[in-house]
Amino acid sequence: MFYSPVITNASEVSDANGLHLFRYVEDAQQHRIEQYEQHGGYSALRKVLTSMTPEAVTEEVKKSGLRGRGGAGFPAGMKWGFVPKGSTKPRYLCCNADESEPGTCKDRVLMERDPHAVIEGMAIAAYAIGCHLMFIYIRGEFNHCIDRMEAAMAEAYARGHLGKNIYGAGYDLDMIVHTGGGAYICGEETALLNSLEGERGMSRIRPPFPAIEGLYACPTIVNNVETLAAVPHIINRGADWYRSLGTERSTGTKVFSLSGHVKRPGNYEVEMSFPLKRLIYDPAYGGGILGDKKLKGVIPGGASTPFLTPDMVDVKLDYESLAAVGSMLGSGAVIVFHEETCIVWVILKLIHFFRHESCGKCTPCREGTAWLEQIIGRIEHGQGKAGDIEMIEEICGNILGRTICPLGDAAVMPIQSAVKHWRDEWQHHIVHRKCQSPTTFAFA
Amino acid sequence: MSVTDDFCLRVNRTMTEATKQAATERAPAQTVSLTIDGRPVTVIRGTTVLEAAAQLGIHIPSFCWHPKLKPVGACRMCYVEIERFPKLQVSCATEATDGMVVLTDSDKVRQGRRAVLEFILVNHPLDCPTCDKGGECDLQNLTFAHGFDDSRFEFQKARFAGPGVTTTFDDLRIGPEIILNRNRCILCFKCVRANKEAFGEYDLGAYERGNSTEINAAPGHQVDNPFSGNLVEICPVGALTNTDWRYKIRVWLTKTTPSMDNFFSSGANILFYKEDHQNRVFRVTSRRNDEIDDGWLADVTRYGYQIVNSPERLVTPLIKKDGRLVPASWEEALQLVAQRFGDIKEKKGGVCIGGLAAPYLDNASLYSFARFFRTVIRCNNIDFRSDYRMLPDNPESQFSNLCSRPFRIADIDDSDVTVIFGSDLIREHPGEYLRLRKARNFGHPRIYSLTPYAVKSADVADRAIVYKPGTEELVINALCLAAAEQGLVDSSAAAQLKDKISSHTFAEATRRCGVSEADLLAVAGSLAEGRMVTFIVGEIVAQSKARETIATAIANLDHLLGLSRRGQVAVLARYANSKGAERLGLLPRPTEAIAKELAAIWGDFPDSPAYPTDAMAALMKKGELDGFFILGANPMMLYPDRAFMKEGLEKLDFLVVCDMFETETTALADVVLPLSSWAEFTGDYVNLEGRVQRAYQAVKPSGQSRPGFEIMTMLAEKFGEPLFESAESMAQEIERLLRLETTPKTPSEFAEVKVSEEANDDAYPIALFVVDDAHHSGHLTEKAPSLTSFAGEAYVEMSPDLAARMEIENGDAVRVEAESGRIIVPARISEHLNTDVILIPRNFSATPVTSLLSRKRRVDRVKLLKVDH
């Protein structure tokens, strides 16, 4: 079977115990259920179904401090606790595998290489919220992930990890693999639910939150792949162990997708609060800047997070440290740019993406992103005018915080920070009608 | 999969409807108090900030908000600032909470609005000078109030392209009436939401994404649903326009006149747009009345006004000379009528004269018609039922009783159990269908539809049950027995009932009507449990020849479960003023109370024999009825045995017909009098609830046409017996009748139900039902060009299965043959139908479907033949 070449740190770390999500990710047979079971797979699910109440599971996850890995960082256990008690409606769990943030490719690796870990995590979460039908919504372009997840699902059914009366514990659970149509917006949980229902993928206004009224107006929990994949480890080794990793408010480990001008781009699982500088420069990780050039800037959490400048990279990769320097952990996609990168060009690429992916529902994002792309495109092509920078700032201000879903914010936050940090370069572009930096840039 | 249908419907609480829901469901209603712009206000919990502000008279601008739809928060125009919220909030989707402090006009809010308007205008073509929406455009008005006077956008505006579209104009015809201009569209999604939520239609959608998003007809479809006109009305800009109105006149040159729908019995409230110098109505829009229409109009109502302007209107009286109708003066025509009727009355007695009035006429016309016949001609041969409802009847019958039961449209909202029995609601009562949809969208009602063929309107139902045609009383009996067998009623009542229904058991009844036992058990269970029940009996029952038996069975069900005590059970009135006609004594034998009141008003009441339409036609054939006066009706078109009616009318000595148009009936007349339309005089109408509503005069009568009451009073004067002392006295008499207490009987005992099943006829194997086309009503709408653009000729609607068996494809000519006649019509294959039943609309004069009908059979049966070319 096709084995996609993605660099991970799994084969390099001498102490494999330092890795949890990625412990067996380099094992070419890990996606098969025999191998997964041999590595202790489905023991957490068995433990949960045979010896724990749903409340105890939720409590354990709450205690572990596990936060959502999709980007927002909302505590997972707390989310599960929002499902209304005593409601007669069915409940649903939906694993959000619509990974489409530029730079982010961690879920893909998990689904391709360790799909049973995702299913086990989903099943435990489903049990905790009292759900009997769970979905995984996979990005349409992820053909390999879809194949692997479907095969894994069939294996799990065949081995009795899914289906009726699992392990004789009287708990029924069914699973559906659903593929998206290839829209970034469907990674936003309410748009995802709309899409899953067969509607146009556009976000819903909240409240009501999905935990109260989600899929088919029933209580629904939407969690990211990485979040759910961490759950079996928490069950197996306990919340206290998980809490011992990372910091007080950012517990456990996190996969960072390192890309851009680094020597070794790839997915690296590290303990929360790992130094960003080490991730970029340590030979076991990024191995330094491509061509040993100087660093220009870093996007620490995916295309929608504000830039960090070289004087800010001495930061730890956790929720609170990044917030302190005005950026976000996001989905953990670290994009590195070296000194010769044209920032206007980068921003043009980003806004092009967000303009293309805006769903068209609310006015500021639909019209604003297109307008921004036109202005930034004009600057990049040497036709910028005096006042364009101020115009960009104003339009960004009119989008930020004014839209239904975070896509609008995601589109403008990197622009705002790029204009703030490299204003001179924007000015240079307008005045001299060309780039300050001589070379072009390509995503590695 | 455990996804149950019940939960497949999203039920977010919202808006006006949500407020109502809060008031009814959370008793006692909880309130919240908040401050908006420094003014305190207390509202019901569940109210949004936008609505709460509206209660204070503070208008918050918006594009995408609609009181009858769930909020989407798409346009972002309705921003407000709320204390403790760092960001601006959209007031249309934010629920008011206790202690909230809201600012609707702060600097931050104004800046937010301006930004949104700027964004909206970025790609808007700003073609206001040539846009038909100019003058009533939300975007124009809000830009005027809140926007910039200049644009900072310096790029080429995005333009849609594609087949039929040039770079400047983007006029795309997406339906028979609707034209879409995507460039002007601001994507408020109101049309798509209304179409889906409120009308249950999927022929319009949003495609592409980002700023390439476009509203368009679903691929391969046209927007031609029976409510499509509303989409144009709710469009806030000039993106959706219709051929009916566009480019004919600027809106500011028109004046509006409040009026009423003249085609359906719920009496939707409308506005006529007219221009004084041209004496013409230009369009109709809704005049929202939440008690009746919720602001939605069926297309028939919206475009039906076009008959008022029709060039085919009769403009002068006509007299038959040498077999031809030639123009004459009113004086001449009335003189002739008075003289001929006078002769007949003198020689053979008033009993040899009869009259038929149309149930869409106003109270004054109907009342003066009745008074003319009863006091001047001195006979009781009058009726207002010229179609299938003409069946012999008496005011004490169970069916008549069921027709006069009270019914409130708005109670549909609050009913937790609704049964539609024998009705294709969209065709018969479109407004009530929308009510049911709303109940479904904003609550959890249980709705059941029971019909002899599958209908589109059953899409609101939890269970759509199809029974064998002609087995209605068996279905109802089975429901009674189901309730008894499940122990839902006390045993003595069950025993009494079983005594009366001895001819079959529950299992037998379900087998004979072809319905599953589980379905009927579910309906019976819901009916027994329902807190508030609405049981709508439709036209399929009303046109059944066994309707008295069916009504008896329904009365048994009502008595058994006490339905009337917990809701409403009624046959709905059919036409705009059917209820008024009933109340004003237009029946040959009005109820005792009405007859007594009439006698009191007039001083006496004729005691001559009373014949309904049906009997009058028989008398004509026998030569015992010589003179006949028809006011607005067209029995040749609607009477369910055309040959029979034709023979009768041809035998008459003297026939007078008043109508707006030349029809099959006027062709047989000796004198034709031009009748004014409802837009041309002020008149009152009684809707199906018994609510009296007034339609004001919008334009002057066309040509020399006159309203019915003028014709009747002029005629009475020719007899030397004026009907009324004054207009006031007439109004007072009508009011006395309308104020008359009507106390319909609720059934108090069980009655025998004589089940009359008809054997199948091998020669004529297919059941035929005559219906109204979804874009037509009665016989006049054929004169409205917009409506004929949706459906211009008759068709035979059949199931895909039947079509396949007969190798018939859409549009193929099909010969439909019955014992009494045959017609050739094109086939229309309907996905909704799934049994061997065909439907043919009765609205097209070129295809007289009534010629296939027989007065003898319970279910009309025909055979089909494919016509080979």
Nearest to B71 among A205, A402, A403 (CB): A205
Task: Spell out which residues of chain B touch residue A171, defining contact as CB-CB under 8 Å.
Answer: none
From the list A314, A282, A318, the residue with the least C-alpha distance to A301 is: A318
Q: A379-395: per-residue pLDDT in tens?
A: 999 999 999 999 999 99
Pairing of strands B171-173, A274-275: unpaired
Question: Which strands make up the sheet holding B171-173, listed edge to edge?
Answer: B171-173, B178-181, B240-242
Task: With a cut of 70, say whether residue A134 has pLDDT above it.
Answer: yes
Size of interface A-B (CB pairs under 8 A): 117
Task: Spell out which residues of chain B touch residue A381, defining contact as CB-CB under 8 Å.
Answer: none
Nearest to B122 among A356, A358, A367 (CB): A367
CB contact (8 A) between residue B213 and residue A360: yes
Structure tokens at A141: 């372009």
pTM, entire model: 0.91
Query: Are the CB atoms for B751 and B552 separated by under 8 Å?
Result: yes
Helices A115-129 & A225-237 angle (0-180, nearest 10): 80
How far apart are alpha carbons B830 and B800 in whole angstroms? 7
How far apart are alpha carbons A314 and B50 in whole angstroms? 48
B166 Cα to chain A: minimum distance (Å): 23
Nearest to B119 among A361, A364, A401 (CB): A364
Question: How many CB atoms lie under 10 A from the CB of residue B597?
Answer: 19
Task: Spell out which residues of chain A touch residue B210, defining contact as CB-CB under 8 Å.
Answer: 355-360, 366, 369-370
In 3-state terms, what secondary structure has residue B533? strand
Tell me the residues of chain B between 92 and 151 that have a Cβ less than 8 Å away from chain A: 93, 95, 112, 115-116, 118-120, 122-123
From the list B629, B778, B776, B636, the residue with the least C-alpha distance to B708 is: B629
Query: Are the CB atoms for B594 and B743 separated by under 8 Å?
Result: no
Please, what is the end-to-end C-alpha distance for chain B in angstroms? 50
Tell me the residues of chain B between 47 and 86 that have a Cβ less than 8 Å away from chain A: 71-77, 79, 86
Please, what is the end-to-end C-alpha distance for chain A in angstroms? 25
CB contact (8 A) between residue A216 and residue B187: no
Query: Are the CB atoms for B570 and B403 separated by under 8 Å?
Result: yes
CB contact (8 A) between residue B119 and residue A398: yes
A365 Cα to chain B: minimum distance (Å): 8
Spell B360-370 as b/e; 16+ CB within 10 A means b: bbbbbbbbbbb
Q: A234-263: per-residue pLDDT in tens?
A: 999 999 999 999 999 999 999 999 999 999
Q: What is the model's pLDDT at position B395?
A: 73
A107 Cα to chain B: minimum distance (Å): 25
Q: B548-606: per-residue pLDDT in tens?
A: 999 999 999 999 999 999 999 999 999 999 999 999 999 898 888 999 999 999 998 99
Nearest-CA residue of chain B relative to A385?
B154
Q: What is the model's pLDDT at position A444?
A: 34
Q: Does B186 touch chain A (CB under 8 A)?
A: yes
CB contact (8 A) between residue B2 and residue A132: yes
Q: What phi and psi values does residue B48 have, to the nearest 5 degrees?
A: -85, 165
From the list B194, B115, B125, B207, the residue with the least C-alpha distance to B166 is: B125
CB contact (8 A) between residue B87 and residue A401: yes
Nearest-CA residue of chain A relative to B77?
A363
Give the residue numbers in A contacting B (CB under 8 Å), as ranges: 89-90, 132-133, 174, 183, 185, 200, 205, 207-208, 213, 216-218, 355-364, 366-371, 374, 391, 398, 401-404
Task: Enumerate residues 6+ apart whose C-beta is below 8 A from A316.
Answer: A247, A273, A274, A275, A276
How far apart are alpha carbons B557 and B475 in whole angstroms? 11
Residue for token digits 């309707």? B547
Task: Spell out which residues of chain A touch residue B117, defining contact as CB-CB under 8 Å.
Answer: none
- Give A435 or B791, the one with higher predicted confidence: B791
How far apart are alpha carbons B437 and B68 in whole angstroms? 11
Q: What is the model's pLDDT at position A13?
A: 59
CB contact (8 A) between residue A89 and residue B153: no
Q: What is the model's pLDDT at position A1?
A: 39
Q: Does B88 touch chain A (CB under 8 A)?
A: yes
How far apart are alpha carbons B594 and B742 in whole angstroms? 9
Q: What is the model's pLDDT at position A439?
A: 56
Q: What is the model's pLDDT at position A18?
A: 73
How far apart are alpha carbons A422 and A340 in whole angstroms? 13
Helices A363-380 & A388-399 angle (0-180, nearest 10): 160
DSSP letter at B231 equals H
Task: Spell out which residues of chain B touch residue A185, defining contact as CB-CB under 8 Å.
Answer: 209
Amino acid code (one letter) for B478: A
Q: A81-109: per-residue pLDDT in tens?
A: 999 988 889 999 999 999 999 999 999 99
ipTM for the complex? 0.93
Give me the sign of the Cα torsion angle B144, B149, B153, B155: positive
CA distances from B110 to B87, B93, B113, B147, B152 (A): 14, 19, 5, 9, 18
Query: Are the CB atoms for B790 and B775 separated by under 8 Å?
Result: yes
Question: Which strands make up the sheet holding B417-421, listed edge to edge?
Answer: B463-466, B446-451, B417-421, B533-537, B567-571
CB contact (8 A) between residue B119 and residue A404: no
Q: What is the model's pLDDT at position B17?
A: 54
Nearest-CA residue of chain B relative to A408?
B210
CB contact (8 A) between residue B205 and residue A200: yes
> At A133, which helix (H) or strand (E)?
strand A133-138
Task: Spell out which residues of chain A touch residue B86, defining contact as CB-CB under 8 Å.
Answer: 401
Question: Which residues share a beta bridge with A259?
Answer: A335
Question: How many CB atoms lie under 10 A from the CB of residue B163?
Answer: 5
Q: What is the model's pLDDT at position B6?
A: 27
How far apart are alpha carbons A2 and A25 in whole angstroms? 14
Q: Does B90 touch chain A (CB under 8 A)?
A: yes
CA angle B495, B501, B505 (to 5 degrees): 90
Spell B534-565 as b/e; 16+ CB within 10 A means b: bbbbbbbbbbbbbbbbbbbbbbbbbbbbebbe
> At B643, which helix (H) or strand (E)?
helix B642-651
Q: What is the model's pLDDT at position B410?
A: 93
Q: Could you give the count of Cα atoms lying within 13 Å of A286 in the half-sphere of its Cβ?
A: 27
Nearest-CA residue of chain B relative to A401?
B87
Best to test chain B binding among A352, A366, A393, A409 (most B CBs inside 10 Å):
A366
Task: Spell out which residues of chain B touch residue A403, defining contact as CB-CB under 8 Å.
Answer: 76
Spell B781-796 as b/e; 16+ CB within 10 A means b: bbbbbbbbbbbbebbb
DSSP letter at B220 equals T
Specify burial of residue B417 (Cβ count, 10 A radius: 0-12, 13-18, 19+). Answer: buried
CB contact (8 A) between residue A367 and residue B2: no
Best to test chain A binding among B79, B111, B118 (most A CBs inside 10 Å):
B118
Nearest to A362 among B71, B73, B208 (CB): B73
Task: Spell out which residues of chain B touch residue A356, defining contact as CB-CB under 8 Å.
Answer: 210
Task: Spell out which residues of chain A touch residue B153, defining contact as CB-CB under 8 Å.
Answer: 371
Question: How many CB atoms lie under 10 A from the CB of residue A439?
Answer: 13
Q: What phi and psi values does residue B139 have, to the nearest 5 degrees?
A: -65, -40
In 3-state terms, what secondary structure has residue B567? strand
How far apart are alpha carbons A95 and A114 in whole angstroms? 15
Q: What is the dihedral angle through the alpha carbons of B576, B581, B583, B586, rounded to the nearest 10 degrees?
A: -170
Best to test chain A binding among B119, B159, B191, B237 (most A CBs inside 10 Å):
B119
Task: With a cut of 70, say whether residue A271 has pLDDT above it.
Answer: yes
Task: Spell out which residues of chain A touch residue B2, defining contact as CB-CB under 8 Å.
Answer: 90, 132-133, 174
CA angle B734, B740, B745 (to 5 degrees): 140
Structure tokens at B634: 């067209």
From the list B465, B429, B427, B428, the residue with the least C-alpha distance to B446 is: B465
Structure tokens at B557: 């069900």
Nearest to B210 among A213, A358, A364 (CB): A358
Task: Spell out which residues of chain B touch residue A207, defining contact as CB-CB under 8 Å.
Answer: 95
Query: Are the CB atoms for B558 and B746 separated by under 8 Å?
Result: yes
Q: Could you give the count of Cα atoms lying within 13 Å of B37 in the half-sphere of its Cβ?
A: 17
How far apart are alpha carbons A194 and A191 in whole angstroms? 5
B35 Cα to chain A: minimum distance (Å): 22
Task: Spell out which residues of chain A touch residue B77, defining contact as CB-CB under 8 Å.
Answer: 363
Q: A158-195: per-residue pLDDT in tens?
A: 999 999 999 999 999 999 999 998 899 999 999 999 99
Where does residue B73 fall: left (phi above 0), alpha (psi -120 to 50 degrees), or beta otherwise? left
Q: Does B196 touch chain A (CB under 8 A)?
A: no
Query: Are the CB atoms for B590 and B596 separated by under 8 Å?
Result: no
B230 Cα to chain A: minimum distance (Å): 22
How far apart are alpha carbons A61 and A75 in whole angstroms? 9
Sequence-separated contacts (24+) of B336-340 with Cβ below 8 Å:
B336/B670, B336/B671, B337/B629, B337/B656, B337/B671, B337/B715, B337/B718, B338/B715, B338/B718, B338/B719, B340/B627, B340/B653, B340/B654, B340/B670
> 10-residue block means of pLDDT along chain B (869 residues)?
28 39 54 95 93 94 94 94 95 94 96 95 91 94 90 89 69 92 94 95 93 93 95 96 93 95 95 92 95 94 96 96 95 96 94 95 97 94 83 76 91 94 94 95 93 94 94 94 89 88 90 94 94 94 89 94 92 93 91 92 90 91 95 92 92 96 95 97 95 96 96 96 93 94 80 82 90 92 95 94 93 92 94 91 91 84 87
In 3-state terms, what secondary structure has residue B837? strand
Task: Enumerate residues 6+ apart whose C-beta is below 8 A from A139.
Answer: A97, A98, A99, A100, A145, A179, A180, A182, A187
Q: What is the model's pLDDT at position B779?
A: 86
Query: Are the CB atoms for B203 and B221 separated by under 8 Å?
Result: yes
